[in-house]
Structure 1
Amino acid sequence: MKTFIPAAVAASVLLAAISESAPVSAGVLDPYMATEISDINDIVKETNSRVEKILTHIEQQDKEAYKGACWLDGKAFSQGAVTTVARHTATCSVQPDTGWPQWKEKGPVVN
């Protein structure tokens, strides 16, 4: 996910640059072209807004992960939480080698 963030930021910057430069043109435009450029500008602004929301969401997830949360199906679980993943019991704990929280498998579920 960390490699996605720089690419998304670059895309956001590119879209913002296009958004700022799109209405600028040389010469007189016919009404159809002016409308098309305006529509493109609106689409770029909307796309930029969506990219910003995605980046904000990813940043919030990164902050939660740093706080010690494990993620499963889009939900954060605190350290010590126990769940069943693929018919195995797993506990949310910080890994000693990385310092990051993740699910640690304990063993198969006993019926």
Structure 2
Amino acid sequence: MPDPMPDFDPATHGQVAMLLGAERAEEMLGLLRGTMATLSRMSQAELASPDGLSLVHRLKSEAGLMGFGRLSRACAVVDAARAGGAVPRAALGELGAAIGWALRLADALQERRPCPAP
């Protein structure tokens, strides 16, 4: 079954800009980018800490709202694993990769460049 949420959905991203206005959508992208930058500087142990997991939980929703499907899915896996008590290293590794890609994507969107491949 195909994944219903693409790595990046420009239509979803565009709808946010249309509903909120370009300036507010740009602010939201900046906030999303700031959260990603904070998480990208954390070690896997820090990501798995209560503070790190709280940021991951918040990022899951923000990323989905802005059309960042890959990032939202990676956050959801980590968020679900924390309920089980332990977050697998592989999930943290994929989260790190998704954050790196999403940071490049956010930069491209802010600079009006073509989106990078996942």
What's the TM-score, normalizing by structure 1?
0.35
More strand by share: 1
Larger Rg, first or second structure (1 or 2): 1
Considering fraction of residues, name the structure with more helix. 2
Structure with the larger RCO, 1 or 2 (CA within 8 Å, 6+ apart)? 2
